[in-house]
Chain A
């Protein structure tokens, strides 16, 4: 009888009755064949593989992570609460030591959802990993978190949420943003002035195959993790680097994903994208589950798998090698970079526009962060989108210092009613969320 080497928890929530639209890649059919394969392989019967029913996330879980404008109900559906709840269920099972590792195979995904939410971006409304992480930091006092995003699209939402957070390392491996949505995730995106270097982007060239991914993992991701020494490793396990994926141009395989999981040893994996629902997802998910549980996955392969046919060219290999040198140089210089960015400043500011492609909304933001040596620094965002409410969103980090605390509350309380419709304060220290209609 098969017995898992690592006790592994699964939440499987295919949301068979929810879709963005009938023909959308993120639709009811997406996990259908995965479920067929998982059931037919008998994975849920294996000793040491435990299936959990997803809890439903709460409004409080959203408020720990996001500022929703105008409010949480407006930007979510029931399915989002279940999918985020599923990630949370797995997180709790791991923290309670009921299982050693866990995998939430849920939809809809979340890694394009940023700190402020006006609608849906890249099929994502709320960031299910970040909601899980924020819950675990509050309920279990988890200290240092590493997120490794292996979805083919840059995890811009997760990057945004942890941009200023020195306790959360965010690494994203993805297809180069010059060739794919959302068009970000370049080497120079390193994190804000208080957390410089702790955002690590590894933009891989199109047609990268197993060799390139495993190289990036062994030569970049694993050494960085070894330096950072996280208390927990989360894998945003998007599966759209597959050679059969219709939305992307990479050449990864089920064997490759399983090997990557085996090397990365994530405590928790949360499914993100992956739209080759018939020829790739069933095999990849089985491979990943077996790898997480420490079971043999060598016979899991796509019917048309041909490692030679998808092998990456020499120029790709060479490009990734040079990329590796730059990534590691950036990582090793992170302390200097932080000092350069902070030099002589009390506050740092940036302005940007964010486009919600799924909902066709253009948001404008003006962000101010307090430069702080003691904590992640409080920050505020002035956010507005065409014809909608304008809000001031203020964040006080979980380990916020006294000065940041005072600044954050002062920003919140003195929000000008002539300028803003809403003032919001996310006090992560006291785990509170305040809201004022102005």
Chain B
């Protein structure tokens, strides 16, 4: 049996899945001040009375590290950054103990200026004096040649605790994002480690000796042990849980828009042939009014301020819903009417709140000169229209992304989904209304209110490998994997893809994959003749492969059960 747990802003959802389908589901209020108790309470409740050895896997998705970043509750760390020619790395300063050093590597991975070890020793002494324990080291073009990051690492490794190296975070180019991502990994690691070690220990005390997997932002999972080297990858895994929860119910041949309608936000994503679209660069986090741009692989999602608790207002005769929230619905003691109040008035939601909801919507109805029911209808329509128009914008944005080859521009991916899958609390009601307001084929996902936890439970382990070959320099390398090998001049793109698949398989298994779940694919394969003078001097090869995000082996049986008892 598998446990899936997804910590949301309002609720934490937990499910227990087995061959018989959904065995149990449970919702507990999220206590943002004490996520540990929330997670533990969720798991304890869901396994009550179940033999511990019947549970073989737990997958968690939590907001822990995201909250730490958003609230800027960082432990101090040291950052050592090597820029070389280009933009001054001071512009990418992440924290107080941030040092820019000499030395540089060029775009082909050749050393331009060496590292100065005296300088490094001075910085190390200064960091030690400040009591810094964890350090991040990042060099420009380190994904082409990590020699400088490694030189700094070897010079200081005995003096510090955990040291993160920039070339391990991603095979993608982007120095500022590599700095930010390395910093995030370095700074959140203690919080991340403490939290999940405590969860693991508590479960073990209850006899649950099960491997813990964590959901990542790209919709895949990794083992808790592997996550200690990449804690940043678990940031913002919430939206990916929802998307994975919808995957099993999406068409295998058509594009599908997924909507997770929650209390404060609606998260949107696109599935193409049951695989989610990934962000080409990396996740962007919001912190106050700053953006933190990272190289953390993530799903292409858009989050908009529309949900059951969005504030409804009437100004100059114009009715608006969201994007903000001013506390709960009036039905639950709030001060501002919300779509949830409209649901009470329309009889979609039942309970004691009806009177408060009616009182809240009455002034709007009066100002519009219509009945309270008609006003509630208008509110519902408005919420749906905002969702539809934002979904349209997301699709346009995906379709207008730049492309770099003639081939892509003509045959590049264009998405035109005709189906929508909805999950979240009021999913069936929203599905009905969205269907009447648009041409989409709209459906609610079975078990819509806990589909996100089901998605987390069933997500497979994913990873990516970037391989770079240069037959003029006679080298092939995947710095992310600490791999580099001499090659001869005949090394080709086909050899590179083969090599990359071997590395990918090893990596996937190392971070927790089941060998039956290794659906591998090539996401990029480019080869350029390097001509110097009038002769071909070598080939420049770039290959990227991934384990495709998707569901674990054997999920079909579970899904069929879910569908039959939905």
Complex interface: stretch among A14-22, A345-353, A365-373 = A14-22
Chain B residues with Cβ below 8 Å from A259 are none
B510 at the binding interface (Cβ < 8 Å): no
A411 at the binding interface (Cβ < 8 Å): no
Report the Cα distance A41→B404, complex, angstroms: 18
Whether the Cβ atoms of A11 and B176 lie closer than 8 Å is no
Chain B residues with Cβ below 8 Å from A303 are 85, 104, 106, 112-113
Chain B residues with Cβ below 8 Å from A37 are 86, 107
Report the Cα distance A37→B526, complex, angstroms: 17
Contact of B531 among A23, A33, A51, A300 (CB under 8 A): A23
Size range of the chain B interface in the assembly: 35 or more
A302 at the binding interface (Cβ < 8 Å): yes
Whether the Cβ atoms of B405 and A17 lie closer than 8 Å is yes
Chain B residues with Cβ below 8 Å from A52 are 402
Contact of B87 among A29, A282, A290 (CB under 8 A): A290
Whether the Cβ atoms of B409 and A29 lie closer than 8 Å is no
Report the Cα distance A32→B404, complex, angstroms: 10
Report the Cα distance A27→B529, complex, angstroms: 9
CB-contacts of B114-141 with A (<8 A): 140-141
Contact with B along A1-27 (1 / 0, CB 8 A): 110000000011111111000110001
Chain A residues with Cβ below 8 Å from B106 are 303
CB-contacts of A60-87 with B (<8 A): 78-79, 82
Whether the Cβ atoms of B175 and A53 lie closer than 8 Å is no
Chain B residues with Cβ below 8 Å from A300 are 85-87
Contact of A28 among B141, B176, B410, B528 (CB under 8 A): B528
Chain A residues with Cβ below 8 Å from B85 are 283, 299-303
CB-contacts of A71-115 with B (<8 A): 78-79, 82
Whether the Cβ atoms of B402 and A299 lie closer than 8 Å is no
B389 at the binding interface (Cβ < 8 Å): no
Report the Cα distance A303→B112, complex, angstroms: 6
Closest to B141 in A: A40
Contact of B409 among A35, A82, A278 (CB under 8 A): A82
Chain A residues with Cβ below 8 Å from B108 are 33, 278
Report the Cα distance A305→B113, complex, angstroms: 13
B530 at the binding interface (Cβ < 8 Å): yes
Contact of B107 among A42, A56, A282 (CB under 8 A): A282
Report the Cα distance A15→B404, complex, angstroms: 6
Whether the Cβ atoms of A29 and B540 lie closer than 8 Å is yes
A266 at the binding interface (Cβ < 8 Å): no
Whether the Cβ atoms of B406 and A18 lie closer than 8 Å is yes
Whether the Cβ atoms of A39 and B173 lie closer than 8 Å is yes
B174 at the binding interface (Cβ < 8 Å): yes
Chain B residues with Cβ below 8 Å from A14 are 404-405
Number of residue pairs A-B, CB distance < 8 angstroms = 117
A296 at the binding interface (Cβ < 8 Å): yes
Whether the Cβ atoms of B531 and A29 lie closer than 8 Å is yes
Contact of A41 among B175, B410, B530 (CB under 8 A): B175
Report the Cα distance A79→B409, complex, angstroms: 10
Report the Cα distance A2→B180, complex, angstroms: 14
B335 at the binding interface (Cβ < 8 Å): no
B495 at the binding interface (Cβ < 8 Å): no
Closest to A19 in B: B529
Whether the Cβ atoms of A40 and B174 lie closer than 8 Å is yes
Closest to A278 in B: B108
Distance to closest chain A CB from B469 (angstroms) = 14
Whether the Cβ atoms of A41 and B87 lie closer than 8 Å is yes
Closest to A297 in B: B87
Chain B residues with Cβ below 8 Å from A282 are 107
Whether the Cβ atoms of A16 and B531 lie closer than 8 Å is no
Whether the Cβ atoms of A40 and B406 lie closer than 8 Å is no
Whether the Cβ atoms of B531 and A27 lie closer than 8 Å is yes
Distance to closest chain B CB from A347 (angstroms) = 44
Chain A residues with Cβ below 8 Å from B112 are 303
Contact with A along B389-409 (1 / 0, CB 8 A): 000000000001111111101
Chain B residues with Cβ below 8 Å from A54 are 402, 409
Report the Cα distance A14→B290, complex, angstroms: 32
Whether the Cβ atoms of B406 and A1 lie closer than 8 Å is no
Report the Cα distance A293→B91, complex, angstroms: 15
> With A15-B405, A16-B405, A51-B402 given, is the CB distance from A40 to B175 under 8 Å?
yes
Chain B residues with Cβ below 8 Å from A291 are none
Distance to closest chain A CB from B148 (angstroms) = 14
Closest to A14 in B: B404
Closest to B110 in A: A303
Chain B residues with Cβ below 8 Å from A302 are 85
Closest to B140 in A: A40
Closest to A295 in B: B87
Q: Which of B86, B400, B403, B531 is packed against the most chain A CB atoms within 10 Å?
A: B86
Chain B residues with Cβ below 8 Å from A22 are 529, 531, 536
Chain A residues with Cβ below 8 Å from B528 are 16, 28-29, 32
B485 at the binding interface (Cβ < 8 Å): no
B291 at the binding interface (Cβ < 8 Å): yes
A286 at the binding interface (Cβ < 8 Å): yes
Whether the Cβ atoms of A36 and B107 lie closer than 8 Å is yes
Whether the Cβ atoms of A36 and B173 lie closer than 8 Å is yes
Report the Cα distance A93→B540, complex, angstroms: 34
Distance to closest chain B CB from A190 (angstroms) = 38
A45 at the binding interface (Cβ < 8 Å): yes
B38 at the binding interface (Cβ < 8 Å): no
Distance to closest chain A CB from B511 (angstroms) = 26
Report the Cα distance A155→B290, complex, angstroms: 45
Report the Cα distance A290→B86, complex, angstroms: 10
Closest to A51 in B: B402
Contact of B404 among A1, A16, A45 (CB under 8 A): A16
Chain B residues with Cβ below 8 Å from A290 are 87
Chain B residues with Cβ below 8 Å from A299 are 83, 85-88
B213 at the binding interface (Cβ < 8 Å): no
Q: Which of B83, B106, B174, B401 is packed against the most chain A CB atoms within 10 Å?
A: B106
Closest to B179 in A: A42
Contact of A79 among B401, B406, B533 (CB under 8 A): B406
Distance to closest chain A CB from B410 (angstroms) = 7
Whether the Cβ atoms of B402 and A1 lie closer than 8 Å is no
Report the Cα distance A28→B407, complex, angstroms: 13
Whether the Cβ atoms of A45 and B293 lie closer than 8 Å is yes
Report the Cα distance A2→B403, complex, angstroms: 25
Report the Cα distance A16→B530, complex, angstroms: 13
Query: Could you show 6 A-B contacts with beta carbons less than 8 Å apart?
Result: A13-B403, A14-B405, A40-B86, A40-B141, A54-B402, A278-B108
Interface pairs A-B: 10 shortest CB-CB: A42-B176, A39-B173, A36-B107, A303-B112, A17-B405, A40-B173, A16-B405, A29-B528, A53-B402, A41-B86
Known: A39-B173, A303-B112. 4 other contacts (CB 8 A): A12-B404, A18-B405, A42-B92, A290-B87
